Amino acid sequence: MNNEKAESPASSVLALAEEVLLEEFQQQVVADPQSALETVDRLVMGMHSASCGATGTARKAGVSWHEIGRAHAALEGAGILLRQAAALFLALPAADRVAEREMLAHALGEQPDEDDDEARGCEDAGGVHAVEDNWSAAVERFRRNTRAPLPPFR
């Protein structure tokens, strides 16, 4: 008797779809790097779109708004970094090194945010605005250097 777990029809369809999509993406990387980067953009936007539904599920499960906000911020940072890595791998315009470091620090939570100041009881969160300005400037440099408009949200 075979002790291996039987694969459900749904999981085999998902595995096949993943295989086909990966093969198509690999062909894009070779034949049309810009198209491959656009595919990464669509993936990132799809992750953001899916996170909207996950918010309701998380709330029903008792997850706090603070943690949901942290998850959305982490997802945003991951999306930007994923696009940056794809652009670098594809030899396409990418953010400069300063913007990249700022994006990475923000995505990894190495920069304070308002919630951290409030949790510590800080009355003066003036430094938070400077951090947000740095982040905004980094994102703007990224967009300017890549000349990449955001893909339409679907």
- Degrees to nearest 5, angle at CA 55 with 68 and 67: 10
Q: Please give the Cα distance from 44 to 151 (Å, whole number).
A: 10
The pLDDT value given to residue 149: 54
The pLDDT value given to residue 16: 92
What's the chain's average pLDDT?
Answer: 77
Segment 14-33 mean pLDDT: 92
Segment 64-76 mean pLDDT: 90
Shortest CA distance to 141 belongs to which of 88, 103, 85? Answer: 103
Segment 96-104 mean pLDDT: 77
More confident residue, 146 or 53: 53
The pLDDT value given to residue 122: 40
Residue 106 has pLDDT above 90, yes or no: no
Q: Please give the Cα distance from 129 to 119 (Å, whole number).
A: 17
Least confident segment among 26-40, 52-66, 120-134: 120-134
- Locus of tokens 């799809």: 46
The pLDDT value given to residue 1: 47
